Amino acid sequence: MKEYLRFLRRCFRLSFVGDWRYLGWMTLLTVLSLLGLNAYCRQFVYGLATTGMTDQVSWGLYIANFTFLVGVAASAVMLVIPVYIYRNKELHDLVIFGELLAVASIIMCLLFVTVDLGRVDRAHHLFLRFHFPISMLTWDVVVLSGYLLLNLHICGYLIYCAYRHRKPSRIFYIPFVFLAIFWAVSIHTVTAFLYVGLGGRPFWNSAIIAPRFLASAFAGGPAVLIIALRIIDRFTEYEVPEKAIRTLRNIVTVAMIISMFLLACEVFTEFYTDSAHGASARYLFLGLHGHSGLVPWIWSAIALDLIGLGVLLLPVELSLKYLNIGCLALIVGIWIEKGMGLIIPAFIPSPLGEIVEYTPTWNEILVSLGIWAFGLLLFTIFVRISIPVLSGRLAIDRLYLRGSVAHAPWAKRLKMASKPKGEPQS
């Protein structure tokens, strides 16, 4: 326990050490996080009246971000499945970064749910009045909390074993890895069922919602991971193998094709039948009775999705050259289509036929930016700590790429770069 506390202390110190780019990035994220906290304090005092939500549109920007981030958290399974089921060695060393991204994403999900509560002091009712297994909201709390604990255990155990120069015991993490595969699917499926189970919102009453959620998650999540890995490869001593990027690109391509097909099926069903339940879809894509607040957003999202998919379908060499642009287009497009394009239209028109459009307030936007900044801050710290530990530069003694560490799988992926100035000695 004494050595473990020393390990945590050294990791904490390391998170404050870096060059001017690292310190500038961390300063920016800290400022945005504090601005978001200040905006939330204002919301806490004056209530949800500081947001753009109303009696008619009771879910807004917070739940839209929550829905997108659940998919990003589930993206870790797209690394775990090829590595532990299909024995893909190229992705073996990158699993831990996917797990760290999942931890940061789940923390952001929980924060977005928290700020969406009108009375945070009553959140304990979720646990004291445990309506299990009837309530889908209770299921959502269970799967999100469980997925967070699973990923924390897997990441923490592997990193601490590297710090101690120990080979990880398979019995302490392999069962949890396979459990995390099931759990990653469950977090998005339960979230989809949370919407589908609301009978008063016909826009969500479709059995295809859960498959759409999973397809978009397995496209948008790995796209975020590709951007993160390319930044890690560019600005750290860790070398990301090109074969791993190609594998992730193939995963994103297949998942995005399926996602676009399911979206086309949903659009065909809504418009070809021309039923009264298609009013929300007409509002989203064409406008309804002169109200068209989301029309430019959804068509922009579809255009970005098609641009991103087009880049991925290019020949491999050209696709890799423009991969960052394609992934960014997909991330923004999926965020709009899966967030604002899925959540808001279900409330318009209301069950009484009212058309009340939703526009987020600046206070709401600041809270959302603060949570995103805090999540990126956590992920940056996780990566900053993990790379020196996995490389052996932050270890229980001064062994550097010798003995067991030199033969560890992650040691082969490190660029032989000089030690950054000012980093704590091993």
Q: Which pLDDT value is given to residue 86?
A: 62
Q: Which pLDDT value is given to residue 401?
A: 39
Domain residue ranges in the chain: 2-413
Q: Which pLDDT value is given to residue 174?
A: 83
| Per-residue DSSP letter, 288 | B
> Please, which residues have CB within 8 angstroms of residue 67's CB and are 6 or more apart in sequence?
191, 213, 338, 339, 342, 343
Q: Is this structure's pTM higher than 0.85?
A: yes
Nearest Cα residue to 285 out of 229, 345, 236: 345
Coil, helix or strand for 238? strand
Highest mean pLDDT range out of 6-10, 44-48, 94-98, 398-402? 44-48
Q: Would you say 69 and 109 are in contact if contact means Cβ atoms under 8 Å apart?
A: yes
> Please, which residues have CB within 8 angstroms of residue 166's CB and are 6 or more apart in sequence?
404
Q: Would you say 59 and 347 are in contact if contact means Cβ atoms under 8 Å apart?
A: yes
The mean per-residue pLDDT over the stretch 51-75 comes to 89
- Taking the C-alpha atoms of residue 85 and residue 239, their distance in angstroms, rounded to an integer, is 24
Q: Which fold has domain 2-413?
A: Formate dehydrogenase/DMSO reductase fold (1.20.1630)
**Using a CB cutoff of 8 Å and minimum separation of 24, what contacts does 157-161 make?**
158/96, 159/96, 159/385, 159/386, 159/389, 159/390, 160/4, 160/7
Task: Compute CA distances 215 → 147, 164, 240, 258, 309, whole Å.
Answer: 19, 39, 25, 6, 14
Between 129 and 153, whose confidence is greater? 153
12-16, 230-234, 397-401: least confidently modelled range: 397-401
Provide the b/e sequence for 48-68 (b: ≥16 CB within 10 Å): bebbbbbebbebbbbbbbbbb
Token pair for residue 212? 């759409």
Nearest Cα residue to 66 out of 144, 180, 152, 118: 144
Q: Which pLDDT value is given to residue 371?
A: 96
Token pair for residue 370? 């603060």
33-42, 90-99, 126-135, 379-388: least confidently modelled range: 126-135
25-34, 114-123, 305-314: least confidently modelled range: 114-123
pLDDT of 407 above 70: no
Between 408 and 174, whose confidence is greater? 174
For residue 378, how far is the Cα from the chain centroid? 13
Amino acid present at 85: I
Name the β-bridge partners of 238. Answer: 414
The mean per-residue pLDDT over the stretch 139-156 comes to 87
Q: Which pLDDT value is given to residue 331?
A: 93
List pLDDT tens digits, range 175-231: 888 888 888 888 888 888 888 888 788 888 888 888 888 888 889 888 998 999 899
The mean per-residue pLDDT over the stretch 58-64 comes to 91
Q: Which pLDDT value is given to residue 418?
A: 38
pLDDT grade, residue 66 (50/70/90)?
very high
pLDDT of 30 above 90: yes
Provide the b/e sequence for 158-190 (b: ≥16 CB within 10 Å): bbbbbbbbeebeeeebeebbeebbebbbbbbbb
Say how many CA atoms lie within 13 Å of 381 toward its Cβ.
20
Name the β-bridge partners of 288. Answer: 291
pLDDT averaged over every residue in the chain: 83
Q: Which pLDDT value is given to residue 392?
A: 74
Coil, helix or strand for 1? coil
List pLDDT tens digits, range 252-308: 999 999 999 999 998 888 888 777 678 888 999 988 888 888 899 999 999 999 999
List pLDDT tens digits, range 292-348: 888 999 999 999 999 999 999 988 878 888 899 999 999 999 999 988 888 999 898
pLDDT grade, residue 367 (50/70/90)?
very high
Coil, helix or strand for 311? helix
- Taking the C-alpha atoms of residue 308 and residue 294, their distance in angstroms, rounded to an integer, is 21
pLDDT grade, residue 89 (50/70/90)?
low
Q: Which pLDDT value is given to residue 96?
A: 83
pLDDT grade, residue 131 (50/70/90)?
low
Q: Which pLDDT value is given to residue 132?
A: 65
- Taking the C-alpha atoms of residue 32 and residue 370, their distance in angstroms, rounded to an integer, is 5
Task: Compute CA distances 328 → 215, 258, 322, 357, 379, whole Å.
Answer: 17, 19, 10, 28, 18
